[in-house]
Structure 1
Amino acid sequence: MAKTREEKGRSLWWRIHSWAGLKLAIFMTFVLATGTLSVFAHEIDWLVTPAMRVSPQDGPRASWGTLAAAAAQAVPQGRLQTLYAPIDPWFAAEAWIDTGRDAPLRVYVDPWTGAVTGTHGWANVHRFLRQVHRHLMLPTTIGIPLVSSLALLLLASLVTGIVTYKKWWRGFFRLPRRGDVRRLSGDLHRLGGLWSLWFVALIGLTGVWYLVETLGGKAAVPKLTEVETVVPAPTGAALDRLIVKAQRMRPGLDIREIRFTPDNGVVLLGQDRAWLVRDRANGLAIDPSDGHVLTVLDGMDLDVHQRISEMADPLHFGTLGGLSTKMVWFLFGMVLTGMSVTGVIIHAKRLEKADQDQRSAGRLAWAGMGAWAYICTGLVILALALTPGAIGGAS
């Protein structure tokens, strides 16, 4: 019996969906898994780095000046570069100190007592996950387009999945059937796909944006005014005086980061009126030699292009709402990673019964990927091999 035009169309969409999910499955699973773990990369570092852990207290926190002075005194031969506020109450503040090596040294300071809790080299879990997920430890001009191109594959899978799943809107509460691996994996794949439609679209669109940026579509970054006189990074009472002046001028600015730059003075960055922007969108640059304001940054002044650029990271990594949204992003990241695996299982189990050579599901899946299996595996191995040199630095 000849297939109808509708059936032929659905068959074509199904073949596209299968190709997209199978051929690059190894590479896709690796990128999805590392991206999912990246959501909680700081928390993983907190678990494995004792110096990052502090006990929250009821009293007032130490001033920015106290934190900066403690970090600078811990490494007197270095130059204070950046100081970060704690991510959560149980995190230490983090300072980056330039010691003249390829990468800065991390110094952790208790935000209540102002005491240094320890130091750590540049390499950590966050650095590894961030770089391997973003550009596979390759040069960014090569790695970012390579990884970001998977976003096109995600969006293609989203469209083809909806087209091939008849009356998909009825499947949200359809429980997976048991008794057969192929049937169970197929039901889980469809159920996970339905509930994560919004997430796939979000990750796909932000991934496409990263691709656009790396191909020349970056938004303009506001330029900071340069200082006339270069002075050492202010700490202690000197820094606190600058903070007081900044808070009088911008009382709504929640300072989350301080950069001590030789060219642009002390740059105070954080969150203010604009929602869904990175800390760098709001702030003040102050000349530490005389205390006058050099540059004012306000997320409300961004144009559409800049606003999209600032929104990408909070939306992609789920940091827009703190720990609660990160938990949601992690959960759906796990679902998406699982779907990449179940898609391969579905393909292998479909062929297993008809295979005359009685090959295992794993061998069938590998054979189905063809040359792409070797290419994708090679990329993963290359990324891991490049890791020591890519994230090494101060120790």
Structure 2
Amino acid sequence: MAAATERKRRSVWWAVHAWAGLKLSLFMTFILATGTLAVFSAELDWLVTPSMRVMPQEGAKASWGTLAASARDAVPGGRLAQIYAPPHPGFAAEAWLDTSTARPTRVHLDPYTGRVTGVVGWYNIQRFLRETHRHLMLPVKLGVPIVCTLAFLLLASLVSGIVTYKKWWRGFFKRPRGGDGRRLSGDLHRLAGLWSLWFVALIAVTGVWYMVESLGGDAPDHPRAPALSITATQPVGPALDALIEAGLRAYPGLDIREIRYPTAKGGRGLVLMGQADAWLVRDRSNAVWLNPDDGAVLLVSSGEELTAHQRISEMADPLHFGTLGGYATKIVWFLAGILLTGLSVTGVMIYSMRLRAAVATGAESSNGWVRAWRGMGWWAYPALGLIILSLALAPGAMLA
């Protein structure tokens, strides 16, 4: 009696696993694949954009003021919005300038000489992958919740996979069996699933958090300086360098990674952002706010002063995309993303092979892809529709 109950319980969990992995598998594979590529999206842009590539050099780098002056001169009539330090050696620094167009213009700069290496448009591979993976090119309030529903399917797959795999902890080094496609794909599916358990859990939990944020549970805003009425022109050259010196005196040890300029209407001052002692926070968590007119320090905020709610929010992106440890973690996250994407594909293959026995009776098509499509049921149509819609919206986003 107990054995029969156990078999019934596992059968229910197997049905849950099959449903979660099959019905929206097209959509799941698309989101997982774009997310995996997004880990190295900056590197992909580096490969196809010559102006992003610079030769690393010994010695001091150009000052922020030099970079700002070069960027301003490269776009006549443009207004400096942000300047970013190179993300890795061999990358150019980058400035964003607001112009008459709806999107900023990017200016790439040699971080060693301050020389402009190129002026390019706003849209690139990184933006395409981010906007596709995050919200399908749809309005953020609509697209993010749609994508984040997959986090619950990942959780269902994780729990049901563990329950249905007897003594799963023994399978980490179990060699896949050959000789039969269904057996081999099943063994590979289980092996990949075991080695990516931690990653499935991580992506699912952060995905649920993004859902919470999109539905109004986002953390309170970081501290900001009061609004200013700024009359001075945008500081560049020695004027900007003097402001940065004042900021570093107020926040010793701040590794500046980004500078944000006031808007044309004034805003809240010039902001220096970067990394300091707090771990797993974005650059915005460590900041110095300055009045560009007189150099007065308006506010100093540290990532160590954030609330627990804010720290959770800050941790989500570094954990989700693997940027917490530079290239070392990005490589691990990329490989784990390939495994997770493969799990989605092999799960569909396994389902198709299970139905192959019905082909002889004429109850099923001999084509495996047709069997898989039919197994998805009506869920296949909205899944495919969302993918097509996202790709169709991309050209419009690029031209906006």
The equivalent of 2:127 in structure 1 is 127
**TM (normalized to structure 1)?**
0.98
The equivalent of 1:82 in structure 2 is 82
Task: Tell me the amino acid that sits aligned with residue 387 of structure 2.
Answer: V
The equivalent of 2:221 in structure 1 is 221
Give RMSD over aligned pairs: 1.2
The equivalent of 1:388 in structure 2 is 395
The equivalent of 2:270 in structure 1 is 266
Identity of aligned residues (%): 62
Q: CA deviation at 1:389?
A: 1.5
SS of alignment partner, residue 117 of structure 2: strand
Matched residues in 1 for 2:239 and 2:290: separation? 12
The equivalent of 1:230 in structure 2 is 231
The equivalent of 1:313 in structure 2 is 317
383, 391, 395: which is aligned to 1:376?
A: 383
Matched residues in 1 for 2:305 and 2:399: separation? 38
Is the aligned partner of 1:328 residue 2:332?
Answer: yes
SS of alignment partner, residue 17 of structure 1: helix
Total equivalences in the alignment: 393
Matched residues in 2 for 1:230 and 1:284: separation? 20
Q: CA deviation at 1:232?
A: 2.1
Distance 1:155 1:2, change over 3 A: closer
SS of alignment partner, residue 100 of structure 1: coil
Distance 1:371 1:195, change over 3 A: same
> What does the per-residue CA deviation read over 1:5-54, in whole Å, with 9 as the maximum and x for residues that have no partner?
11100000000000000000000000000000000000000000000000
Matched residues in 1 for 2:313 and 2:398: separation? 25
What is the correspondence of 1:1-395 to structure 2 with a 5 Å cutoff?
Answer: 4-222=4-222, 223-261=224-262, 262-355=266-359, 356-357=361-362, 358-393=365-400
Q: Which moved more, 1:384-393 or 1:76-85?
A: 384-393
CA contact (8 A) 1:66 1:235 kept: yes
Task: Tell me the amino acid that sits aligned with residue 386 of structure 1.
Answer: L
Matched residues in 1 for 2:231 and 2:185: separation? 63
Task: Tell me the amino acid that sits aligned with residue 250 of structure 1.
Answer: Y
> What does the per-residue CA deviation read over 1:304-346, in whole Å, with 9 as the maximum and x for residues that have no partner?
1001000000000000111111010000000000000000000
> What does the per-residue CA deviation read over 1:58-108, in whole Å, with 9 as the maximum and x for residues that have no partner?
121000000011000000211010000001110000000101211000000
Matched residues in 2 for 1:391 and 1:9: separation? 50
Q: CA deviation at 1:231?
A: 2.3
Q: CA deviation at 1:229?
A: 2.5
Q: CA deviation at 1:2?
A: 10
Distance 1:270 1:2, change over 3 A: closer
Matched residues in 2 for 1:56 and 1:221: separation? 37
CA contact (8 A) 1:108 1:118 kept: yes
CA contact (8 A) 1:352 1:360 kept: no
Task: Tell me the amino acid that sits aligned with residue 239 of structure 1.
Answer: L
CA contact (8 A) 2:250 2:300 kept: no
> What does the per-residue CA deviation read over 1:263-314, in whole Å, with 9 as the maximum and x for residues that have no partner?
1111000001110001110010100000001121110110010010000000
Q: CA deviation at 1:390?
A: 2.1
> What does the per-residue CA deviation read over 1:202-247, in whole Å, with 9 as the maximum and x for residues that have no partner?
0000000000000010101123322232322211000000111111
> What does the per-residue CA deviation read over 1:250-271, in whole Å, with 9 as the maximum and x for residues that have no partner?
1211100000013111100000
CA contact (8 A) 1:348 1:365 kept: yes
CA contact (8 A) 1:230 1:263 kept: no
Task: Tell me the amino acid that sits aligned with residue 133 of structure 1.
Answer: H
Task: Tell me the amino acid that sits aligned with residue 194 of structure 2.
Answer: L
CA contact (8 A) 2:225 2:269 kept: no
Matched residues in 2 for 1:224 and 1:129: separation? 33
Q: CA deviation at 1:3?
A: 6.5
CA contact (8 A) 1:277 1:299 kept: yes
